[in-house]
Amino acid sequence: MELAYYSDYAVRLVNSEEPARGKDTLTSVAAVRDLFGGNQSAARRATDADVTRFRSVRARLRAVFEAADSGDETLAVDLLNSLLLEFPVSPQISGHDFRDDDGRPLWHMHLADHPSNATAGYAAIAAMGLAFHLTEYGVDRLGLCEAAPCRNAYLDTSTNRSRRYCSDRCATRANVAAYRARKRLEADRSASTGLAADSAQRSTASGER
């Protein structure tokens, strides 16, 4: 497993809230546990206290994406480094129970957390995964959706660094909105041109009289 895979932890947590829409799904222990995905052993550590702690980490992770999205590379790195210092992990070689044809474990790198609570464990993995993604692909690969009012976080893995939206749905919505805006502008220009032409004709007719 590539260590950058863990950056999805950061995206899932950040996108549990949509500030511009007033939406927040991180309201219960069940919601906290859902963020862990398949890591159910870690999810079972979550308690009511983790709801508030997760929200605090979420705000700090969103600040990383906001700094990256605005082009402030140094601030993004500084904010992420503060999370890495506060929530450390230990890289370990793991084989789980996957086997190759010879019956040997399929060794890969794994991030082992040693948390005092569920939030510390999740934050450690999310921050380290985001750090690997940032250093592997660049700060400009961390973005916020341009389809207002979405502003969900995303990780740009496109070959030409062209991603601007968090999903195909947002991309389609933004394209439709842009198309309609162009049509309105064209209609306004056409109407203005027509009014100007009518005015000119009236002036000419008046002058001829």
**In whole angstroms, what is the distance from residue 161 CA to residue 187 CA?**
34
pLDDT at 131 over 70: yes
pLDDT at 206 over 70: no
Long-range contacts of 173-180 (CB under 8 A, 24+ apart): 173/147, 174/146, 174/147, 177/147
Model pLDDT, residue 152: 96
Question: Taking the complete model, does pTM exceed 0.75, yes or no?
Answer: yes
pLDDT per position as a tens digit, 49-73: 999 999 999 999 999 999 999 999 9
pLDDT at 113 over 70: no
Model pLDDT, residue 1: 42
Let me know: does 127 contact 87? Beta carbons within 8 Å.
Answer: yes
pLDDT at 196 over 60: no
pLDDT at 86 over 70: yes
